């Protein structure tokens, strides 16, 4: 068989699971890092998108890449001393080395890179390790790293330690913290000490006072922490938030129900009082009605019947009313019985001196009075001269008589 008849070898392919697909980084101090690509792809899509890292195992290659180092490595703006701890934690070289032993400063670099590149799982591990490593972070380290790396628990803990420690904030510490921050912490410290040694205890927890004083700082950190949460942590936080919202709504409904119950109880109390007052008035009325005899009840006023005409004419000639007793202070008083009043006019008797007023004959009554010679004074009289035919002598029974001058 000639060499030309030998079939060409089959094309080489990458194994999608076990081929060591690597990625190369070049740090700022010219150090190359060839590390597995998979942890960077699965750890943070933000990092892979930023540095354009793709999974080459998914493509079909005709031959393996024989070059040891790529011609254009990914350049980083950080040095090798900072990047090496991050690679050691993300891509451990030994299978048993799940959590390598690092110093506090190296864990800070791991946390910084994990926060910048959104390696959320690695960020949580670095935070937990920094809480356990020795020496412990100082209050100022917690405040500085809490603001820089968006760790709200460290920021709150740092402020709390400065407030509750034995010594107050010095001038140098105030310059490091900032004047406004130092003044707020001093005010919280005074309030905390005053409440601590008072008889009533602490009305408001210290954490609530700190969060209220630095609300804007914590709000910005909370937004970043929500993006850096792991899926399970985000789900747990969402469940906690929904539970808190439901609890607030339940408390609001309970408060409203309590208010309505109080209003109903007050209304029932007023109604009961009104019913008791009404019952007392009814009992009093029944007692009054039961205690007064029928004989003592005042009789109704008798109606006055009209007096007949015959009785009117004999009113003056009727029997005299009964006289009062001799010892009465009013012996001549009229009887107490009321006399009926009639509508017909009663004229005086014929022998009355005013009887002539009802006569309509000349020379008598009012005509005689008007035509007497007392008004015949001639032209000086306001009535003029008296009529000639008028008689000058009044009747004997006239009420007035005038003599001649």
pLDDT tens track for 357-369: 445 445 454 444 4
Per-residue pLDDT, 171: 92
Q: For residue 38, give every residue at least 6 positions away whose Cβ sits within 8 Å of its Cβ, in sequence order, or none.
A: 21, 55
Per-residue pLDDT, 375: 44
pLDDT in tens, 260-290: 999 999 999 999 999 999 999 999 999 888 8
Q: Where are the alpha helices (DSSP H) in 78-170?
A: 80-90, 104-116, 120-132, 139-149, 152-164
Residue 396, burial from CB neighbour count under 10 angstroms (0-12, 13-18, 19+): exposed
Is the per-residue pLDDT at 397 higher than 70?
no
d(CA 88, CA 125): 13
Biggest CA-to-CA distance, the chain: 203
> What is the average pLDDT value for the chain, to the nearest integer?
75
Q: Provide the pLDDT confidence category of residue 319 given band limits of 50, 70 and 90.
A: very low
d(CA 123, CA 136): 18
pLDDT in tens, 61-99: 434 444 444 557 889 999 999 999 999 898 887 766 667
Per-residue pLDDT, 52: 86
Instruction: Give me the count of residues in the chain.
Output: 405
Per-residue pLDDT, 109: 94
256 vs 402: which has the higher pLDDT: 256
Residue range 10-120, CATH number: 3.30.710.10
Per-residue pLDDT, 244: 86
The whole-number average pLDDT for the span 383-394 is: 48
pLDDT in tens, 184-241: 999 999 888 888 777 665 556 888 899 999 999 999 998 888 888 877 777 887 888 8
pLDDT in tens, 99-126: 778 899 999 999 999 999 999 989 999 9
Domain chopping of the chain, boundaries: 10-120
Per-residue pLDDT, 53: 86
């Amino acid at each position: 068989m000639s060499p030309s008849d030998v079939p060409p070898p089959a094309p080489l392919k990458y194994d999608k699971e076990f081929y060591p697909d690597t990625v190369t980084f070049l740090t700022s101090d010219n150090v190359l890092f060839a590390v597995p690509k998979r942890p960077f792809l699965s750890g943070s899509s933000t990092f892979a998108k930023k540095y354009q890292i793709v999974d080459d195992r998914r493509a079909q290659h005709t031959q393996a890449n024989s070059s040891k180092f790529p011609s254009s490595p990914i350049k980083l703006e950080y040095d090798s001393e900072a990047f090496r701890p991050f690679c050691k934690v993300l891509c451990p070289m030994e299978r048993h080395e799940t959590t390598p032993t690092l110093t506090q400063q190296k864990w800070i670099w791991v946390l910084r890179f994990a926060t910048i590149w959104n390696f959320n799982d690695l960020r949580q591990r670095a935070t937990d390790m920094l809480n356990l490593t020795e020496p412990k972070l100082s209050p100022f380290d917690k405040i500085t790293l809490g603001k820089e790396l968006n760790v709200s628990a460290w920021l709150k803990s740092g402020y709390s330690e400065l407030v509750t420690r034995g010594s107050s904030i010095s001038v140098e510490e105030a310059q490091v913290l900032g004047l406004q921050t130092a003044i707020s912490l001093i005010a919280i410290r005074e309030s905390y000490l005053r409440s601590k040694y008072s008889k009533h205890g602490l009305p408001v927890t210290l954490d609530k006072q700190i969060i209220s004083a630095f609300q804007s700082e914590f709000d910005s950190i909370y937004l970043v922490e929500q993006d850096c949460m792991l899926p399970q942590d985000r789900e747990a936080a969402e469940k906690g938030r929904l539970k808190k919202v439901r609890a607030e709504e339940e408390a609001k409904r309970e408060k409203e129900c309590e208010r309505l119950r109080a209003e109903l109880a007050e209304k029932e109390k007023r109604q009961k009082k009104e019913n008791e007052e009404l019952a007392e008035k009814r009992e009093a009325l029944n007692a009054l009605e039961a205690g007064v005899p029928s004989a003592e009840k005042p009789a109704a006023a008798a109606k006055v019947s009209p007096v007949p005409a015959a009785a009117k004419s004999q009113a003056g000639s009727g029997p005299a009313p009964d006289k009062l007793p001799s010892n009465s202070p009013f012996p001549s008083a009229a009887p107490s019985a009321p006399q009926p009043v009639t509508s017909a006019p009663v004229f005086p008797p014929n022998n009355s001196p005013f009887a002539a007023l009802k006569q309509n004959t000349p020379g008598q009554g009012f005509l005689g009075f008007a035509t007497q010679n007392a008004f015949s004074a001639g032209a000086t009289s306001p009535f003029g001269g008296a009529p000639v035919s008028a008689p000058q002598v009044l009747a004997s029974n006239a009420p007035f008589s005038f003599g001649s001058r």
